[in-house]
Amino acid sequence: MSDAMRTSVLGSTGAGDLFQLLRDGRPRTRAELAAVTGLARSTIGLRLDALTSLGLIGPVADAASTGGRPPSRIALKPSSRVVLAADLGASHAHVALADLMGGELASHTERLEISLGPEVVLGWMVEHADRLLAELGKSRADLIAAGIGLPGPVEFSTGRPVNPPIMPGWDAFDVPGWVHRHMPIPVYVDNDVNIMALGERTHSWPEVDHLFFLKVATGIGSGIISSGQLQRGAQGSAGDIGHIPVSRGAGIQCRCGNTGCLEAIASGPAIAASLRRQGRDVATGDDVVELVRRGDLDAVRAVRQAGRDIGEVLTTCVSLINPSVIALGGSMSEAGEHLLAGVREVVYSRSMPLATEHLQIVQSRAADDAAILGASMLAIHFALAPEALDALAAAASSSAQ
Q: Tell me which residues touch Zn ion (CB under 5 A).
A: 243, 254, 256, 258, 261
Angle, helix 268-277 to helix 285-293, in steps of 10 degrees: 70
**Is there a contact between 75 and 25 (Cβ–Cβ < 8 Å)?**
yes
- Measured CA to CA, the distance from residue 333 to residue 232 in angstroms comes to 23
The least distance separating Zn ion from the CB of residue 247, rounded to whole angstroms, comes to: 15
The least distance separating Zn ion from the CB of residue 255, rounded to whole angstroms, comes to: 6
Nearer to Zn ion, 146 or 193 (CB): 193
Nearer to Zn ion, 89 or 249 (CB): 249
The least distance separating Zn ion from the CB of residue 257, rounded to whole angstroms, comes to: 7
DSSP code string of 207-241: T-S-EEEEEESSSEEEEEEETTEEE--SSS-TT-G
Amino acid, res. 280? R
Nearer to Zn ion, 96 or 266 (CB): 266
- Measured CA to CA, the distance from residue 197 to residue 366 in angstroms comes to 10
CB atoms inside a 10 Å sphere around CB 314: 26
Strand blocks (E) in 11-72 = 28-29, 57-60
Nearer to Zn ion, 240 or 369 (CB): 240
Nearer to Zn ion, 330 or 386 (CB): 330
Task: Kindly give the pairing relationship between strand 187-191 and strand 211-216.
Answer: unpaired
Nearer to Zn ion, 28 or 243 (CB): 243
The least distance separating Zn ion from the CB of residue 218, rounded to whole angstroms, comes to: 13
Nearer to Zn ion, 254 or 288 (CB): 254
The least distance separating Zn ion from the CB of residue 332, rounded to whole angstroms, comes to: 17
The set of residues, in sequence order, having a beta carbon less than 8 Å from that of 356 and lying 6+ positions away, is 318, 347, 348
Burial 89-99 (b: 16+ CB within 10 A, else e): bbeebbbbbbb
The least distance separating Zn ion from the CB of residue 278, rounded to whole angstroms, comes to: 23
The least distance separating Zn ion from the CB of residue 282, rounded to whole angstroms, comes to: 22
